[in-house]
Amino acid sequence: MTGHDPLAPGSRLTRKGQATRDRIVAAASGLVYERGVAGTSTDDVQAAAGVSTSQIYHYFRDKKALVRAVIAHQTDAVLEGQQPLLSRLDTLDGLREWRNFVVDLQHRHHCAGGCPIGSLGSELAEADDEARADVAAGFERWAGAIRAGLHAMRDRGDLSRDADPDQLGLAILTTLQGGLLLTQIRRDTVALETGLDAMLDHVASFMPLRDRVDEASIAR
Domain 15-69 has CATH 1.10.10.60: yes
The reply to whether 15-69 and 82-219 are identical in fold is no
Domain residue extents for the chain: 15-69, 82-219
Radius of gyration of the CA atoms of the chain, in A = 20
Instruction: Tell me if the pTM is above 0.75.
Output: yes
Could you tell me how far CA 116 lies from the centroid of its own chain?
Answer: 7
**Domain 82-219: CATH superfamily, name plus number:** Tetracycline Repressor, domain 2 (1.10.357.10)
Q: What is the full per-residue pLDDT of the chain (220 aa) written as tens digits? A: 444 545 544 457 789 999 999 999 999 999 999 999 999 999 999 999 999 999 999 999 999 999 999 999 999 999 999 999 999 999 999 999 999 999 999 999 999 999 999 999 999 999 999 999 999 999 999 999 999 999 999 999 999 999 999 999 999 999 999 999 999 999 999 999 999 999 999 999 999 976 655 555 555 5
> 163 — alpha (psi -120 to 50), left (phi > 0) or beta?
beta
